Amino acid sequence: MNASTAILSRLSLAADVASDLMTPNPVSISSDASLREAIVLLHDRNFGAAPVIDEAGRPVGVISRSDILTHDRETVTHVRPAPEYYTRHDLRLSSGETLPDTFQIESVDPTSVGDVMTPAVFSVGPDTSAASIVEQMQALNVHRLFVVDDDGILVGVITTTDILRHLKA
C-alpha cells in the first residue's frame, strides 16, 4: 500500500444525510429563460451547471456548459445579406439625437434554456443517506444530485465538490 492509498483508506465522510451535504436554496433558472441568460449566469457565478425549474419550483432539468457548447457546435448560422447602406443622418433617434459611431445591431439567439437543457432530473430526499448519495452519483455517472422536498420542490443540490468538502481524514 503506497502513501496516497493509506491516506485515502482513512478518509471518512463527515455527513449522515443529504441535508448535511447539500448546498441549500441553489441558484436556478427557468426553462423559459434565454440561452444568453444561462450563459451569463453560469459564467458570472462560475458554475458548471444550474438546475432548471418550472413555475412551481420543481426541477425539470439541468443546463450545463456542455449543453451550451453542444448547442453552439450543432447550430448552423448562415451569412446574412449585406445590410442596406444608411448614412449617419438616417440613424437619428426620434428625439434628434444621433447614434454613437460604436452603435451595433446584435442578432439575438431565440433559443431558450428548455430547448438546450438536459431534461433528466436525478434527485434525492433530504433524509437520503450520504452513502446512498455517493453510490447513486457513481452509478449514474453524474456530478450533481438535486435535493427535493416531499412536494418535489427543489431545496438543495449536492455536487461532487460538496462531497469532497465533507471528507475528513
- List pLDDT tens digits, range 92-104: 777 877 777 676 6
Percent of the chain surpassing pLDDT 90: 68
Long-range contacts for 75-83 (Cβ within 8 Å, ≥24 apart)? 75/109, 75/111, 80/107
Would the pLDDT of 135 be above 70?
A: yes
| Structural domains present in the chain | 11-79+111-168 (3.10.580.10)
Mean pLDDT, residues 137-164 taken together: 95
19: left (phi over 0), alpha (psi -120 to 50) or beta: alpha
The three three-digit cell numbers of residue 135, written as one number? 453510490
pLDDT of 82: 54
Distance CA 158, CA 42 (A): 17
Q: Which residue has the cell 448547442?
A: 71
pLDDT tens-digit map of 75-89: 877 666 656 666 656
Give yes or no for a contact between 122 and 136, defined as CB atoms under 8 angstroms apart: yes
Average pLDDT over residues 118-136: 95
Does pLDDT of 151 surpass 90? yes
What percentage of the chain has pLDDT greater than the value 70?
A: 82
- Write down the mean pLDDT value for the chain: 87
User: What cell was used for 167?
Assistant: 471528507
Query: What is the edge-to-edge ordering of all strands in the sheet holding 49-53?
Result: 29-30, 49-53, 59-64
Q: What is the mean pLDDT of residues 150-160?
A: 95
pLDDT of residue 126: 97
pLDDT digits 0-9 by tens, 19-74:
999 999 999 999 999 999 999 999 999 999 999 999 999 999 999 999 999 998 88
